[in-house]
Amino acid sequence: MDTVAAIVLGIVEGFSEFLPISSTGHLILAGKLLGLAESDFVKSFDIAIQFGAILSVVVLYWRDLLVRFETIKKVSVAFLPTGAIGFILYKIIKNILLGSTAVVLWSLFIGGIILILFELRHREKIDATKDLSDITYRQAFLIGVFQSLAVIPGVSRSAATIVGGLILGMRRKLIVEFSFLLAVPTMLSATVYDLYKNGAVFSSSQFNHLAIGFVISFIVALASIKFLLRFVQSHTFILFGVYRIALVLLWVAAFHGLIAK
């Protein structure tokens, strides 16, 4: 990996982390386009720079994360399912799923269809939960269960939690914000654990590239969050579902056979 690749991947991560299009899936596909060899460092890079994007949430929502204890407890409860599943399946995720273009493409495609069908049928109820303080611990835990589906590259952590929250009767803006908050412990734990397992073997130049991707993803993610909050005020996620499907079809058309590898 060189500096240009680190910058490009940082932009891709910052842009896609909070949108329902799978940042991990986009990082894997972008890495293929950049001709990056599959390695432990590239996989760790894809995991770690996601926390750079997540830090933008800390900047924008620090009161909820550091001051409001009730919110902290609910986010912690929501994190439990993903934390447990991620720890148990770490080797499978790192060594098998993160290296599969086919898994990413199928997940993007099927997820796009599900997102479109869900939005066509979903109607927000008048009494839908609209404030962080009104989220129950049951809702928080179940949102965490939905998020755990995103251990599969291409599923999209954002899409899984948002759709889960809407199913559980939450307002669109509320579940988007809760998804932001839930991303912090999720990606922090994933980054720390992965660097603990693999960081000792990385070179100083690799850590420099990691730092570049980290900072770029943080800056771009700030704009992405603000865009999504404005977008959900008057739009559904159908457009993102169409985008996911179109991306897969374009990829398959351009790179015949990769969907089977």
| Cα–Cα dist 111/140, whole Å | 22
- For the chain, the distance separating the N- and C-terminal CA atoms, rounded to the nearest angstrom, is 22
Q: For the chain, what is the mean pLDDT?
A: 85
199: pLDDT strictly greater than 80: no
**Burial of 183 per CB tally in 10 Å (0-12, 13-18, 19+):** buried
pTM over 0.85: no
235 — pLDDT class (breaks 50, 70, 90): confident
Residue 193: the pLDDT is 77
Mean pLDDT of 183-195: 80
Q: Can you tell me the distance from the alpha carbon of 167 to that of 119, in angstroms, rounded to the nearest whole number? A: 11
Q: Is 128 exposed, middle or buried (0-12, 13-18, 19+ CB in 10 A)?
A: middle
- Over residues 87-104, the mean pLDDT reads 79
User: Where do runs of H (alpha helix) occur along the chain?
Assistant: 3-16, 23-33, 40-60, 62-66, 69-88, 90-95, 101-121, 137-147, 157-167, 172-198, 204-231, 238-254
Residue 153 CA to residue 105 CA, distance in Å, equals 9
Which sequence spans correspond to the domains of the chain? 3-260
Is residue 256 very low, low, confident or very high in pLDDT (cuts 50, 70, 90)?
low
Tokens 């924008």 belong to: 60
pLDDT at residue 247 in the model: 93
Using the predicted structure, report yes or no on whether residue 67 has a pLDDT greater than 80.
no
State the amino acid at position 80 in one-letter form. Answer: L
Reduce the DSSP state of residue 162 to 3 states and report it: helix
pLDDT of 261 > 50? The answer is no
| Percent of the chain at pLDDT exceeding 90 | 25
Would you state the pLDDT for residue 33?
87
Q: How would DSSP label each residue in 195-233?
A: HHHHGGG--HHHHHHHHHHHHHHHHHHHHHHHHHHHHTT
Backbone angles phi, psi at 255, to 5 degrees: -130, 75
Q: What tens digit of pLDDT does each residue of 17-47 get?
A: 888 898 888 888 888 888 887 777 888 887 8
Instruction: Compute φ and ψ for 37, nearest 5 degrees.
Output: -70, 140
Question: pLDDT band at residue 260, thresholds of 50, 70 and 90?
Answer: very low
What mean pLDDT comes out for the span 120-141?
85
The answer, yes or no, to whether residue 212 has pLDDT greater than 80, is yes
* Structure-block tokens of residue 252: 């398959």
